[in-house]
Amino acid sequence: MSIKNRAFFLTASKQLEMREIPIPKIGPKEVLVRMGAIGVCGSDVHYYSHGRIGDFVVEYPFILGHECAGTVVETGAEVTKLHVGDRVALEPGISCGTCEMCRTGHYNLCPDVIFLATPPYNGCLMEYIAYPENYAFKLPDNMTLEQGALVEPMAIGVNAVLTGKVKAGDSVLIIGAGCIGLVTMFAAKSSGASTIIVSDIIKLRLDTALKLGASHTVDSRGDIVSEVMKITNGRGVDVVLDCAGFSSTVKLSMQLVRPNGRVVIVGMGEDQLNDIPLGLLSTKEVEITSIFRYKNLYPTTISLIAGGLADINGIVTKRFTFEQTAEAYSSAYENPSETVKNIIIFEKAEEKVGA
Ligand SMILES: [Zn+2]
Ligand SMILES: [Zn+2]
C-alpha cells in the first residue's frame, strides 16, 4: 500500500500549513483510521487565533481538530470489535482509567486525560490517525461521516439535557443558539420537551433555531424576561440550559426558571460570575449544575442521530475539502456571527476501503 499522510500544522497565529508526516504505527489495541470528516470547533478557532485557552497554551507547530470520523483501514493484533471498512466516530478524550474520577465513572473529569487538540496534545487534522479501539465508535450504515464528526458537539447537548433531567412535556429555555445551543435544542426535543424557547442576540441564529426545532425564539436584546414569562403563563421554565455562561445569562436563568426548577451551566463565556441573585436562588430552591464535555454518551448520541431525532446536518454552515482547511478556519474566524459549524469533508470519504 503506497499511502502517504498529510497534516495541517498551526505554525503561528492564524497560520495553517500542510505538511507530510509519516503514517502512524498502530499499537495492538489501536486502529488506523482514514479521516473522512472533521468539524471546526469554537475552541479550535480560539487556539487558531489566540494560541491559548486559559492555562492551555499552544506550542507551535500544533495540530488542531477534535471532532472527527473516518474509516478503519487497519486493525491492531488485539483489536476485537472493529474491522477494516468500519466507519467510526472518534471520542477525543482518552482518560487514564485508573484515577478516582475514572474509576467512579466520571472519566471526563480525569486530570490526566489526553484530549485531541488540547495542548500539549495534538489534534486530528490529518489524513490518517492511530486511535485506541475503545474510543472509536462504529457508525450505523445510515449515518454519514459528516454526522459522525458531529457526534462530538452533540454529545455535549445530550449531557446537558440528561443533567438537567429534561423529560416529556417539559418547558426549557436554551440560552445561546451557536453550535452547542442548537445541539442542546435537538437533545431537548428528543427528550420530549414540548416548549423549547431559544434565545440569542443574532437574528440568523434564531432563524436557524426556529427552522431546526425551537417552538419559540426570543431576541435576548429585548425584554426576554417578560417574553419568556408570557410564553410560560407567568410560571417560568422547568429547565434552563445556559449555553452562553455569562454573569448576565446565569442571572437570567435564575429569573426565568420556575420554583424548584433546574439550571444547567453548559457554556463558559466568563471565568468569574458576578451579580448572581442569591435571594432568588434561596427562595426558589433551584438546582444548579455545571457540565464538562460528556461521558459514556457516544453510543446514545449515535443512536439519536441515526434514529432521525436530530437534524444535525442543519447546523453545518459551509463544507470544505481537506486542502481548503486554512480557508475553513479563516472563514469561521472572520465571520463568527454567520458561522455555526464549518466542516472539512475529505475527498472520497464515503468510498469503500480498497476501492
Ligand atoms: Zn468541539
Ligand atoms: Zn483518570
Whether the pLDDT of residue 355 is over 60: the answer is no
Confidence of residue 54 (pLDDT cuts 50, 70, 90): confident
**Structure confidence by residue, pLDDT tens digits, 231-280:** 999 999 999 999 999 999 999 999 999 999 999 999 999 989 898 889 98
Ligand 1 midpoint to CA 259 (Å): 33
CA distance from start to end of the chain = 13
> What angle, 0 to 180 degrees and rounded to 10, lies between the N-to-C axes of helices 179-190 and 151-163?
60
Same-domain check for residues 105 and 182: no
Domain at 321, CATH number: 3.90.180.10
Q: Residue 183 is part of which domain span?
A: 156-290
Which ligand is closest in space to the CA of residue 112?
2
The predicted model scores a pTM of 0.96
Whether the pLDDT of residue 176 is over 60: the answer is yes
Ligand 2 midpoint to CA 94 (Å): 9
Which ligand is closest in space to the CA of residue 293?
1
Residue 269's beta-bridge partner residues? Answer: none
Would strands 67-75 and 114-115 be described as parallel, antiparallel, or unpaired? unpaired
Residues of the chain above pLDDT 70, percent: 99
Which ligand is closest in space to the CA of residue 66?
1
Same-domain check for residues 173 and 126: no
Same-domain check for residues 222 and 284: yes
Tell me if 182 is assigned to some domain: yes
What pLDDT shows up at residue 354?
Answer: 60
What pLDDT shows up at residue 2?
Answer: 53
Same-domain check for residues 131 and 197: no
Ligand 2 midpoint to CA 56 (Å): 19
What pLDDT shows up at residue 352?
Answer: 83
**Structure confidence by residue, pLDDT tens digits, 278-298:** 998 899 999 999 999 999 999
171 neighbors 232 (Cβ within 8 angstroms): yes
Same-domain check for residues 91 and 173: no
Tell me if 39 is assigned to some domain: yes
What pLDDT shows up at residue 348?
Answer: 84
Tell me if 276 is assigned to some domain: yes
Ligand 1 midpoint to CA 154 (Å): 9
Would strands 237-242 and 257-265 be described as parallel, antiparallel, or unpaired? parallel
What pLDDT shows up at residue 349?
Answer: 84
Ligand 2 midpoint to CA 142 (Å): 34
C-alpha 265/C-alpha 352 separation (Å) is 42
C-alpha 71/C-alpha 82 separation (Å) is 10
Contacts of 334 (CB under 8 A, 6+ apart): none
What pLDDT shows up at residue 45?
Answer: 96
Tell me if 151 is assigned to some domain: no
Tell me if 297 is assigned to some domain: no
Ligand 1 midpoint to CA 65 (Å): 8
Residue whose entry in the numeric block shows the C-alpha cell 435564575 = 254
**If DSSP states are collapsed to H, E and C, what string results for the chain?**
CCCCEEEEEEEECCEEEEEEECCCCCCCCEEEEEEEEEEECHHHHHHHHHCEECCEECCCCECCCCEEEEEEEEECCCCCCCCCCCEEEECCEECCCCCHHHHCCCHHHCCCCEECCECCECCCCECEEEEEHHHEEECCCCCCHHHHHCHHHHHHHHHHHHHCCCCCCCEEEEECCCHHHHHHHHHHHHCCCCEEEEEECCHHHHHHHHHHCCCEEEECCCCHHHHHHHHCCCCCEEEEEECCCCHHHHHHHHHHEEEEEEEEECCCCCCCCCCCCHHHHHHHCCEEEECCCCCCCHHHHHHHHHCCCCCHHHHEEEEECHHHHHHHHHHHHHCHHHCCEEEEECCCCCCCCCC
Domain at 264, CATH number: 3.40.50.720
What pLDDT shows up at residue 3?
Answer: 76
Would strands 341-345 and 316-320 be described as parallel, antiparallel, or unpaired? parallel
Whether the pLDDT of residue 99 is over 60: the answer is yes
C-alpha 93/C-alpha 212 separation (Å) is 29
Tell me if 319 is assigned to some domain: yes
Mean of pLDDT values over 87-114: 97
C-alpha 134/C-alpha 156 separation (Å) is 19
Same-domain check for residues 285 and 330: no
φ, ψ for residue 262, nearest 5 deg: -130, 145
**Structure confidence by residue, pLDDT tens digits, 183-221:** 999 999 999 999 999 999 999 999 999 999 999 999 999
Residues of the chain above pLDDT 90, percent: 92
> Count of domains in the chain?
2
Tell me if 301 is assigned to some domain: no
Mean of pLDDT values over 83-101: 97
Same-domain check for residues 31 and 53: yes
Tell me if 59 is assigned to some domain: yes
Residue 171's beta-bridge partner residues? Answer: 195
Mean pLDDT of the chain: 96
Ligand 2 midpoint to CA 293 (Å): 15
